[in-house]
Homo-oligomer: A and B are copies of this chain.
Amino acid sequence: MKVSSRGEYALRALIVLGLHAEEISTIAEISEQTLVPVAYLEQILLQLKLLGYLKSKRGKHGGYMLAKAPDQIVIGEVIRSLEGPLAPMGCVSITSYEACPLEGTCLLKPLWALIRDSIARLLDQTTLAHLIERKL
């Protein structure tokens, strides 16, 4: 049930950018504050940009900024984009359902559904603004 380092790193970066909203931050600056290697961070920031969470400026005095207000960035969506579905099994995933062979009689499915619901409820109720303001 682990979250990958890539997901964690992406969220760290979003938090750093959210804390310095209105300012532009270079990859190097973000790397310092997140402890993520520069070359790896480049990849992740680029992906976050393609997903629409960030905007960038090239060249001198370039860098990254949030492309949305922090309260419009839903943590559940970010994690889904980076790591795939939140559900523990495909058969209980709402965003990307996948059938199980035993689904008709399976006694586990209701349990997985409870897990999915509680994870999704938490992560889809939480925005970057909530994290930054420490209001969960």
Q: Residues of A at under 8 Å CB distance from B?
A: 1-3, 8, 11-12, 15, 34-35, 75, 83-89, 101-102, 106-108, 110-112, 114-115, 118-119, 122-123, 126, 131-132, 134, 136
Set B2, B8, B85, B102: member contacting A108, Cβ < 8 A: B8
Q: Is the CB of A15 within 8 A of B107?
A: yes
The answer to whether A35 and B122 touch across the interface, beta carbons within 8 angstroms, is: no
Q: Which B residues are in CB contact (< 8 Å) with A8?
A: 89, 108
What are the 5 tightest A-B residue pairs by CB atom distance, in nearest-first order? Answer: A3-B88, A118-B118, A107-B131, A15-B107, A1-B86
Assuming the contacts A35-B102, A119-B115, asked whether A108 and B12 have C-beta atoms less than 8 A apart, the reply is yes
- Nearest chain B CB to A105 CB, angstrom units: 9
Question: Could you list 17 examples of A-B contacts with CB < 8 Å?
Answer: A1-B1, A1-B2, A1-B119, A2-B84, A2-B89, A3-B88, A8-B89, A12-B106, A12-B108, A35-B102, A107-B134, A111-B123, A114-B122, A114-B136, A115-B122, A115-B123, A118-B118
